[in-house]
Amino acid sequence: MSAQIISGTEIAARIREELTAKVTGLKRDHGLTPGLATVLVGDDPASHMYVGMKNKAAAKMGIHSRQITLAADTSQDELLGVVAGLNADPDIHGILVQFPLPDHLDEARVTEATSPDKDVDGLGPMNAGRLMTGSGEFFAPCTPAAVIEMLVRSGHDPAGRHVVVLGRSNLVGQPLANLLLRKAPGGNATVTVCHSRTPDLAAVARTAEILVVAIGRPEMITAAMVAPGAVVIDVGTHRVDDPASEKGYRVCGDVRFDEVKEVAAAISPSPGGVGPMTITMLLSNTVASAARSAGS
């Protein structure tokens, strides 16, 4: 029997309805419109597409969106000056500097320069530290937060279950493991993190009740690597050549979807899974930042 499909598109739509209501309440009760600033450096087509999608989604929810586009040869000091200006702007509650940046720019310095109160990507050292230690309010990185929301809202709460995370990046694997371990809603799981040095990765993956795949390799995960009845969340997104397609390519994830769905109890697709949810969590963090600034 085929698996339940965990649609990130559908879950994201429900969350955006909830966020739209919160935005309306902030405007009505506090005269405050949440503001998101996006900073683009250079002319990378994928980056322009992603930022455009974020700005469009923000506008639909009533969030003020400001895009700042800088030349590819912008200096480090110029970029840091833009970030400093946004940190000081009371109309901006979230700052997103779109990565990757041109090679001559230091992404870590930009992340560190972003105010923790406006770091809605959740990648800065202050938010990462608070997530790790469980102390104080923090913004969770958007993709890991998306995974948690998808699991909980689809009826697969990680609490008390064995979750195997394939991938240990600072963007997904490590913060996701920390979220899953927290004594908080969406947490309380037993977590195993695998990576390229894990012996017999397939055997470890088969122990998972919930398998989250952020390995970065197209369709690496086969049905033989998934325990019957497991829940599978595919974080990967890849464009691979496909002569049979009109476009000459197709989009896939890290999981062989058609194969694994016949084994798993539930699975997220790619595209249509974690992607739309990641944007939604960025907007959620922006609304939360605005609410904090209003004391709400």
The residues annotated as belonging to the active site are 54, 98, 121
Closest C-alpha among 29, 38, 43, 8 to residue 283: 38
CA 267 to chain centre: 17
- Spatial distance between the Cα atoms of 2 and 139, rounded to a whole number of angstroms: 36
Give the CA angle between residues 48, 50, 52 to the nearest 5°: 65
Tally of CB atoms within 10 A around 220: 16
Closest C-alpha among 15, 5, 41 to residue 276: 15
CB 120, CB 140: distance < 8 Å: no
- Spatial distance between the Cα atoms of 94 and 276, rounded to a whole number of angstroms: 18
Return the SS3 of 159: coil
CB 284, CB 96: distance < 8 Å: no
